[in-house]
Amino acid sequence: MSAPARPTARRIPLKWLVPTLYILFLMLPIYWLINMSFKTTNEILGGFSPYPKNFTVDSYVEILTNPAWYMGYVNSMIYVVLNTVISVTVALPAAYAFSRYRFMGDKHLFFWLLTNRMAPPAVFVLPFVELYSSMGLFDTYWAVALAHCLFNIPLAVWILEGFMSGVPKEIDETAYIDGYSFPKFFVKIFMPLIASGIGVTAFFCFMFSWVEMLLAKNLTTVAAKPIAAVMTRTASTSGYELGLLAAAGVLTIIPGAIVIYFVRNYIAKGFALGRV
Partner 1 sequence: MTKTENNRAWFLVLPVLLLVAMNAILPLMTVVNYSLQESFIAGFWDWVGTRHYQDVLASERFHAALIRQFAFTFIILIIEVPLGVAVALAMPKKGAWASLCLVLMALPLLIPWNVVGAIWNIFALPEIGLLGWGLNALGFDYNYTNQPISAWITVILMDVWHWTSLVVLLAYAGLQSIDEAYYRAAKIDGASRWAVFRYIQLPKMKTVLIIAFLLRFIDSFMIYTEPFVLTGGGPGNATTFLSIDLVKAAVGEFNLGIAAAMSIIYFLMTLLVCWLFFTLMTKDKEGQA
Q: What is the Cα–Cα distance from 151 to 129, expressed in whole angstroms?
A: 17
Interacting positions 67-106 with partner 1 (CB under 8 A): 86, 90-91, 93-94, 96-104, 106
- The reply on whether position 63 binds partner 1 by CB under 8 A is no
| Cα–Cα distance measured from residue 62 to residue 53, given in angstroms and rounded to the nearest whole number | 20
Q: How far is the CB of 24 from partner 1 (least distance, A)?
A: 10
Looking at beta carbons only, is 14 or 222 nearer to partner 1? 14
- 16 lies in the site for partner 1, by CB under 8 A: yes
- In sequence order, the 6+-apart residues with CB closer than 8 A to the CB of 203 are 259, 263, 266, 267, 270
To partner 1, the closest distance from the beta carbon of 235 in angstroms equals: 8
Contact between 41 and partner 1 per CB under 8 A: no
In the complex, the smallest distance separating the C-beta of residue 190 from partner 1, rounded to whole angstroms, is: 12
Using the Cα atoms of residue 89, residue 94, residue 98 and residue 99 in order, give the sign of their dihedral. Answer: positive
Instruction: Identify residues 213-252 at the interface with partner 1 (CB under 8 A).
Output: 213-214, 227-228, 231-232, 235, 242, 245-246, 249, 252
User: Residue from 147, 159, 224, 244 that binds partner 1 (CB under 8 A)?
Assistant: 147
Question: 18 to 37, contacts with partner 1 by CB under 8 A?
Answer: 18-19, 22-23, 25-30, 32-33, 36
Residue 141 engages partner 1 in binding (rule: CB under 8 A) = no
With contacts defined by CB under 8 A, name the span among 10-18, 52-60, 61-69, 193-201 that binds partner 1: 10-18
Residues touching partner 1: how many (CB under 8 A)?
103
Own/partner pairs, 176-185, CB within 8 angstroms, 24+ separation:
none
CB of 139 to partner 1, least distance (A): 17
Q: Which residues contact 55 (CB under 8 A, 6 or more apart)?
A: 38
Name the strand (E) or helix (H) holding 78.
helix 67-100
Closest approach of partner 1 to the CB of residue 141, in Å:
16
Q: Is 175 in the site for partner 1 (CB under 8 A)?
A: no
Give buried/exposed letters for 17-56 (b at 16+ CB in 10 A, else e): eeeeeeeeeeeeeeeeebebbbbbbebbeeeeeeebeeee
Q: At a CB cut-off of 8 Å and minimum separation 6, what does 57 contact?
A: 38
Distance spanning both ends of the chain, measured CA to CA: 19
Binding mask 149-168 for partner 1 (x = CB under 8 A): xx--xx--x-------x---
Instruction: Count CB neighbours of 86 within 10 A.
Output: 19
115 scored as a contact of partner 1 (CB under 8 A): yes
State the nearest-atom distance from the C-beta of 253 to partner 1, in Å: 5
